[in-house]
């Protein structure tokens, strides 16, 4: 569908306390334990990212969640009343009195077709009714089968429509900053050229003369600018100012850091409102955390800094991953936009793992760009 719709569900007596108790009983009869709480634990959030592609855990993190687990392993979840989301489709009906937001919602592939999904759906809608909501809004649905699912199980009706093509018609002026071979730049540039993401790449800025990204930019007819730092004749402050001024000259609406290996100063971060960085590690949603729980209930370090994959292998971590986050003055601690964990295979070397991680990066950067677009 090129269209996104908002669905409305009347929170009538179908979602009263009796319905809530019945939904819990059905979940328990399926051999699951159900938990309802603000936010969610690390393991659940990481499982959401592993199974559903990386964008939903941030919404679950700021909402109330009902989670079904079997023998300690998550198998389904539903989020309701997420706070402070900025998506375009949550700016009209969603802010009206008496309307509560439902979603995201996901069921493990092996559990689909069972009663587990409808039961969790009911339980979450009961939670909104408990909060005094008269209507639930299921926002940003773009799949006909999912619309039919909600209509069948809740009587949901289409309340608002949004044309995604209109959002893709505006192209946002973007500067890519990179220091290496530029595989992620090329992936983004091709997505932009094909119309999959609404970017106009104004330039590539690179701090390494002769880096492969500059050649890739040349072959794709994107202006490339090399800004090397000659430490023996230029201070760090002067170089940082030169980088900031050079990027600002392109008047970007978005700056994408795709393998940029020079630490940006406070002035740069303050100059540009929209900075997204691709980091090769699975980072916590809480920027203050330095450890993170994983889908298998293990805990790993939040590998920040320029050598995240190498650091993960030195620590013998069972997991690596990739995160796109907003850039702040604190290194690799900006708000997460999307993240995906990747399990290290038995006897796998660092190079082989990094090659598999590249495929993850190529998938999540365009999705992060679209999430950024949806928030504008």
**How does pLDDT run across 284-318, given as a tens digit for each residue?**
999 999 999 999 999 999 999 999 999 999 999 99
Distance CA 34, CA 116 (A): 10
Residue corresponding to tokens 């998938």: 363
Determine how many CB atoms are found less than 10 A away from the CB of residue 145: 6
106 pLDDT more than 80: yes
For residue 168, the model assigns a pLDDT of 85
For residue 166, the model assigns a pLDDT of 87
Q: Where are the beta strands (DSSP E) in the chain?
A: 3-10, 33-38, 64-70, 73-80, 99-107, 135-141, 157-163, 172-178, 199-206, 224-226, 254-258, 275-279, 291-293, 299-301, 319-326, 336-343
1 pLDDT more than 80: no
Nearest by Cα to 179 from 223, 210, 221, 219:
210
Average pLDDT value for the chain: 96
Distance CA 307, CA 268 (A): 22
For residue 2, the model assigns a pLDDT of 81
Domains of the chain: 3-165 (3.40.630.30), 167-375 (3.40.50.170)
141-169 pLDDT tens trace: 999 999 999 999 999 999 999 998 888 88
Task: Please state the pTM of the whole predicted model.
Answer: 0.96
**Strand 224-226's sheet: what is its strand order?**
224-226, 199-206, 172-178, 254-258, 275-279, 319-326, 336-343
Q: What is the mean pLDDT of residues 100-126?
A: 97
For residue 238, the model assigns a pLDDT of 96
Is residue 319 a contact partner of residue 298, using CB atoms and an 8 Å limit?
A: yes
236-248 pLDDT tens trace: 999 999 999 999 9
Query: Which residues touch 203 (CB under 8 Å, ≥6 apart)?
Result: 175, 176, 217, 222, 223, 224, 225, 250
For residue 8, the model assigns a pLDDT of 98
Distance CA 167, CA 370 (A): 10
Backbone angles phi, psi at 363, to 5 degrees: -80, -40
Torsion of CA 208, 209, 212, 217, to 10 degrees: 100
96 pLDDT more than 90: yes
**pLDDT tier at 81, thresholds 50, 70, 90:** very high
227 pLDDT more than 90: yes
65 pLDDT more than 90: yes
What percent of the chain has a predicted confidence (pLDDT) above 90? Answer: 96
Nearest by Cα to 102 from 69, 142, 133, 145:
133
Distance CA 252, CA 201 (A): 9
SS3 242: helix
Distance CA 201, CA 217 (A): 10
**Strand 3-10's sheet: what is its strand order?**
33-38, 64-70, 73-80, 99-107, 135-141, 3-10, 157-163
Is residue 194 a contact partner of residue 167, using CB atoms and an 8 Å limit?
A: no
Backbone angles phi, psi at 321, to 5 degrees: 170, -175
> What b/e sequence results for 283-302 when a residue is b if at least 16 CB atoms lie within 10 Å of its CB, and e otherwise?
bbbebeeeebbbbeeeebeb
11-38 pLDDT tens trace: 999 999 999 999 999 999 999 999 999 9
SS3 243: helix
**pLDDT tier at 9, thresholds 50, 70, 90:** very high
**pLDDT tier at 372, thresholds 50, 70, 90:** very high
Q: What is the mean pLDDT of residues 323-341?
A: 96
Distance CA 368, CA 366 (A): 5
């Amino acid at each position: 569908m090129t269209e996104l719709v908002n669905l409305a569900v009347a929170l009538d007596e179908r979602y009263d306390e009796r319905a809530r108790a019945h939904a819990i009983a059905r979940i328990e009869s399926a051999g699951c334990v159900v938990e309802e709480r603000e936010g969610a634990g690390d393991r659940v959030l990481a499982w959401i990212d592993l199974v559903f592609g990386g964008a939903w855990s941030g919404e679950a993190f700021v909402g109330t969640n009902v989670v079904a687990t079997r023998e300690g392993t998550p198998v389904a979840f539903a989020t309701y009343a997420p706070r402070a989301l900025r998506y375009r489709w949550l700016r009209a009906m969603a802010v009206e009195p008496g309307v509560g937001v439902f979603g995201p919602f996901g069921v493990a592939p092996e559990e689909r077709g069972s009663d587990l999904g409808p039961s969790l759906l009911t339980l979450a809608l009961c939670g909104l009714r408990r909060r005094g909501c008269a209507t639930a809004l299921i926002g940003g649905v773009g799949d006909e089968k999912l619309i039919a699912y909600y209509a069948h199980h809740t009587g949901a009706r289409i309340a608002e429509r949004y044309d995604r093509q209109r959002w893709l018609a505006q192209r946002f002026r973007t500067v890519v900053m990179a220091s290496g071979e530029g595989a992620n730049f090329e992936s983004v540039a091709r997505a932009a050229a094909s119309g999959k993401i609404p970017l106009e790449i104004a330039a590539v800025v690179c701090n390494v003369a002769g880096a492969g990204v500059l050649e890739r930019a040349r072959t794709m007819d994107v202006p490339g600018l090399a800004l090397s730092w000659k430490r023996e004749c230029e201070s760090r402050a002067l170089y940082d100012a030169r980088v900031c001024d050079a990027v600002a000259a392109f008047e970007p609406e978005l700056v994408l850091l795709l393998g940029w290996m020079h630490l940006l100063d406070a002035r740069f971060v303050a100059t540009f409102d929209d900075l997204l960085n691709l980091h090769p590690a699975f980072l916590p949603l809480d920027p203050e955390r330095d450890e993170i729980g994983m889908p298998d209930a293990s805990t790993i370090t939040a590998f920040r800094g320029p050598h995240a994959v190498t650091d993960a292998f030195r620590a013998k971590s069972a997991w690596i991953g990739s995160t796109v986050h907003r850039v702040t003055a604190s290194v690799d601690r900006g708000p997460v936009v999307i993240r995906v964990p990747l399990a290290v295979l038995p006897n796998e070397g660092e190079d082989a793992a990094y090659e598999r991680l590249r495929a993850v990066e190529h998938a999540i950067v365009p999705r992060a760009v679209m999430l950024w677009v949806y928030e504008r």
